[in-house]
Amino acid sequence: MSNPDLYGVLGRFEHPDALLEAIAELRKAGHSRLEAFSPYPVEGLSRALGERSRWLTVAALVGALLTALATYGMIWYSAVIDYPYVVGGKPLHSWPPFLLLAFVLAILAAVLVALVGMLMGNRLPRLYHPAFNVAAFSRASDDGFFILIRLERNPEDVERLRRRLDDLHALDIQEVPA
Amino acid sequence: MTSTQDRLLPAGITFASMTRRISDLVLEERAPLGWWIGVVICAALTLLLVGALSVLFSVGVGIFGITIPVAWGMPILNTVWWIGIAHAGTLISAVLLITRQPWRAGINRFAEAMAMFAIVCAGIYPIMHLGRPQFFYYLLPYPDTMGLWPQWRSPLVWDFFAIFTYLVFTASFLYMSLLPDLATLRDRARGWRARAYGILAIGWRGSAAHWERYEKANMIMAALATPIVVTVTGIISLDLAVSVVPGFHFTIFPPYFVAGALFSGFSTVALLAVVLRSLFNLEDLVTRVHLDYLGRMMLLFALIVAYAYGQEIFTAFYTGEDYYRTVYFDRWTGPYAPIWWSMIVCNVVLTQLLWFRRIRRSPIAMLCLAITSNLGMWLERFQIVFTSTHADYMPSNWDTIWPTGWDWAAYLGSLGLFGLLLLVFVKLTPLISLHDMRALIASRQQEEGDS
């Protein structure tokens, strides 16, 4: 029987290619509850895990367009309807400068959507994570490439997972307390 | 390609050795003497800025040399100058990221920090120049009791939104770039510093899903950087160009200002590269190859700036308007002529030295050229702001105005503030982007494996 307070089993690899191979093997063997950690973005890692996400670019674009429309609408309302005031003989609806402001604020919105979307998608800020309980995990921000196999809800044979990681030549194999 | 990267990286560098070396600069090693000297000087100058601001806000803008007809004077000239410096930091980071240039990794961190602090310095001046700084929020569309709205056709309102957007962008981009490195510091520090960096790193773990969204957000921001840079300086140039003042009213102003901004910005990155690499002994990570590339960028934008000078002169004479021609004769022979000619020496003559590879690769030569280029760009902004307005259509309006001691105090003070923020920043965070450097090391290992 496994310990109910166990989050998963962690193994370290020296090289990103070994990490990618191990993930492919584990997925072939039917493990789906995998997490991988690397100190820099490794090409193809999220594809290997099957967790691509594409919505951020679309969200930024939509945010930018909506903000542009809202800005233009606000300026048009204030300059034409609510506070009509002729300056320098220019028409009330002076669209070139209005477009400029709509463009600038659209960029502002896209920047904020990208930053906030990245943080929210990644569930950050979140200061605690079970992996931080393992001392060796500090190498994930230095030179270590890690795989974490999360345990299923039903009791699982931890020894079997350890052996499997060992077969894949993982180092520092450790149980991660929840 | 391999040969270029080999020269960008020291031989035998590994992830672990690079991480240790750069993070130890923050966590373990004592700051070098030069750093302390710099901090003391910059802190003293920052105090000068605080003093100048205190006097300014209690006495009023009359202490500055911004008397009619030169209503803008040094505050606006300094805003334009500082914003220009900020631009190259943004572009280096973003454009080199999109084009996947390997020489980005050594210099992007302090280039981004430079952008951030230059915007802070730029942002102070418009507030100073307002006269009644407590009312700056009139620029915002808020439901005020007087039923007023901002004047949307005014470039000063565009300025406010553009600079604000740029500030938010730069801060976001800098924090994004810092986030994984803060996690590295959290994992290596002990005690209260581990906790402080832990809070700043907000739980970054470098999981595959993290990096996936991180890279996506980074690319979005990088793609936005170019329009931002062009828009911000373009809008600032419109402050001048949409008026009918003879020295301001040129359609070439937006691209001309952007090129000038990038010229001074790349010069400042080169300046910081030379200073920081010798201060922290990083000659093998911020290499002569980096200086070479920076030198080429300086040369490119110096040539565009020179072309803009020529184009502006051509336009002034081609219009056939007396007033435009008079402005130019005045620039060449009038009371501000030394400024114009010094500008030409700094920006057009001296920069030709950058054609030579030996000059671009010499740290001391690059340092000198970076200083003269920034000086030249400052003089350029000076001649645009001062010579155009001091003698416009009505001879009865003409006057010659010079900056006062308070102008100089505020200017020197902002230099000090910039230096202070930058020096403190490089001691609190990794001076070289660790995760970008790891990606560069990994791509080199890949190539070595393939060959």
ipTM score of the complex? 0.90
From the list A111, A144, A156, A105, the residue with the least C-alpha distance to A1 is A156
Across B274-300, average pLDDT: 91
Q: Give yes or no: residues A99 and A155 share one domain.
A: no
Contacts of B52 (CB under 8 A, 6+ apart): B406, B409, B410, B413
What is d(CA B245, CA B265) in angstroms, rounded to the nearest whole number?
Answer: 28
At residue B302, does pLDDT exceed 90? yes
Reported confidence tier of residue B6, pLDDT bands at 50, 70, 90:
low
| pTM for this predicted structure | 0.91
What is d(CA B290, CA B173) in angstroms, rounded to the nearest whole number?
Answer: 22
Mind listing the pLDDT tens digit for each residue in B226-263?
A: 888 889 888 989 888 888 888 888 888 999 998 999 89
Q: Give yes or no: residues A21 and A44 share one domain.
A: yes
Range of the domain at B208: 2-450
Contact A124 B168 (CB under 8 A): no
Question: Distance from first CA to last CA of chain B, Å, rounded?
Answer: 12
Strand partners, A12: A146, A171
Chain B residues whose CB is inside 8 A of the A121 CB are 209, 213
At residue B267, does pLDDT exceed 80? yes
Is the CB of residue B383 less than 8 Å from the CB of residue B340? yes
Q: Give yes or no: residues A30 and A71 share one domain.
A: no
Cβ burial of A4 (10 Å; 0-12, 13-18, 19+) is: exposed
Cβ burial of A85 (10 Å; 0-12, 13-18, 19+) is: exposed
Chain A residues whose CB is inside 8 A of the B215 CB are 41
Q: Supply the CATH number for residue B16's domain.
A: 1.20.1630.10
Coil, strand or helix: which one is A147?
Answer: strand
What is d(CA B348, CA B373) in angstroms, rounded to the nearest whole number?
Answer: 9
At residue B1, does pLDDT exceed 50? no
Mind listing the pLDDT tens digit for each residue in B72-83?
A: 889 999 999 999
Chain B residues whose CB is inside 8 A of the A130 CB are none
At residue B93, does pLDDT exceed 90? no
How far is the alpha carbon of A65 from chain B, nearest alpha carbon, in Å? 14
Strands (E), B303-367: none
How far is the alpha carbon of A57 from chain B, nearest alpha carbon, in Å? 7
Range of the domain at A162: 6-53+130-177
Number of domains in chain A: 2
C-alpha distance from residue B357 to each of A27, B339, B443 (Å): 53, 30, 27
Number of domains in chain B: 1
Chain B residues whose CB is inside 8 A of the A41 CB are 211-212, 214-215, 435, 439
User: Is the residue at A1 inside a domain?
Assistant: no
Contact B206 A37 (CB under 8 A): yes
Q: Give yes or no: residues A75 and A102 share one domain.
A: yes
What is d(CA B50, CA B54) in angstroms, rounded to the nearest whole number?
Answer: 6
Across A71-95, average pLDDT: 91
Of residues B149, B209, B215, nearest to A51 (C-beta):
B209
From the list B86, B79, B166, B168, the residue with the least C-alpha distance to B127 is B79
At residue B388, does pLDDT exceed 80? yes
Contacts of A8 (CB under 8 A, 6+ apart): A33, A35, A130, A148, A149, A150, A151, A175, A176
Q: Give yes or no: residues A111 and A162 share one domain.
A: no
Contact B209 A107 (CB under 8 A): no
Two tokens, residue B405 = 């001691």
What is d(CA B407, CA B378) in angstroms, rounded to the nearest whole number?
Answer: 14
Spacing of C-alpha A110 from chain mean position: 17
Q: Give yes or no: residues A115 and A28 share one domain.
A: no
Chain A residues whose CB is inside 8 A of the B228 CB are 107
Rg for chain A (alpha carbons), in Å? 25
